Amino acid sequence: MKAESNESLDLLSVLLTGIPGLEAQHGWLSILFFTMYVVAIVGNSLIMAAVQADPALHEPMYLFLSMLAGTEVGVSVSTLPTVMGILWFDARRVDFDGCLAQMFFIHTFSCMESGVLLAMSYDRFVAVYNPLRYTAILTLPRIVCIGLVVTLKSVILRAPLPVLLRSLPYCHTNILSHSYCLHPDLIQLPCADTKLNSILGLAIVLSTFGLDSLLIVVSYMLILYRVLGIASGEGRRKALNTCVSHICAVLVYYVPLIGVSVMHRTAKHASPLAHTLMSSIYLFVPPVLNPIIYSVKTKPIQQGIVTLFSCKRE
């Protein structure tokens, strides 16, 4: 079949898929997903507002936490239109350029989230290894610089992906397997060689998620080595307790990511529902759980949120 021009309106759109096998329950599922979106967006927005409003939270740990909350709001907002559009209105058709834009923002914010988690592990490393010079090392200009580097790296690495996909010919039904646009899904659609796209996508994954996770593991090995050298049991407990929330955030983010990667490569014949559930856990669970984890485990954040509401009532 001859490839048609990319200018064709039919080819410049894709069909998204809801939750396979549960189409009849979309109405009930929409309540669950909408609740998760509300918790994720409101919860992370409250953390950002509390950090911004409370001078006591203008410390490196909380500034990095605010960055993490911002990336999670970005991930949630990126997926919300198509997911809720399918669940509420069965609106499956999406403009191809809009799909590419969604793909770019989902992957960019996910990449930024990984980078911020790495920055937070460095923050914990400095706090444990050199607590007396903690604020002198992680000054506000340096924190801003780290945030800008993470953002620029994510944007620059992800920008070529939609450009390369936009230049390829498409000659068959453009149906994706999720209710949002992801690069692994989109590179299955062109009727041309996508080896460059696959190699570039793999290189980006290894240089971001792969390298970030390795450096996080190394940082915590060094932290553990330092903590074991502390003489008092109370000192060791206090040092480790400052890392608990971040460790939970890392596990909440990377465990589903590893699960999605393993399933994509070793369980290709698993049911579509299994693949959809794993991808949904990866994209939706971290933005929901992280604000809960930090609100429960971090008393200054609790106090900051309470103060925020107190100021609004006044």
Model confidence over 241-276: pLDDT tens digits? 889 999 999 999 999 998 888 777 666 677 888 888
For residue 10, the model assigns a pLDDT of: 46
Supply the pTM of this predicted model: 0.93
The mean pLDDT of 42-65, rounded to a whole number, is 95
A 10 A CB-CB count for 42 gives: 12
* Mean pLDDT of the region 218-226: 94
How confident is the model at residue 240, as a pLDDT? 85
| Mean pLDDT over each residue of the chain, to the nearest integer | 89
Q: Residue 94: enclosing H or E segment and its boundaries? A: strand 93-95
Out of 22-31, 44-53, 122-131, 205-214, least confident range: 22-31
φ, ψ of residue 297 to 5 degrees: the values are -90, -15
Tens digit of each residue's pLDDT (9 = 90 or more) over 28-37: 999 999 999 9
Q: How far apart are CA 71 and CA 64, in angstroms?
A: 11
Dist. CA 239–CA 233, nearest whole Å: 10
CA separation, residue 61 to residues 34, 174, 258, 274 (Å): 30, 44, 26, 36
In which element (H, E) is residue 196 found? helix 195-205
Query: What domains lie within the chain, and their CATH numbers?
Result: 13-312 (1.20.1070.10)
Query: Does 124 score more than 80 pLDDT?
Result: yes
Which phi and psi angles does 130 have, rounded to 5°? -140, 65
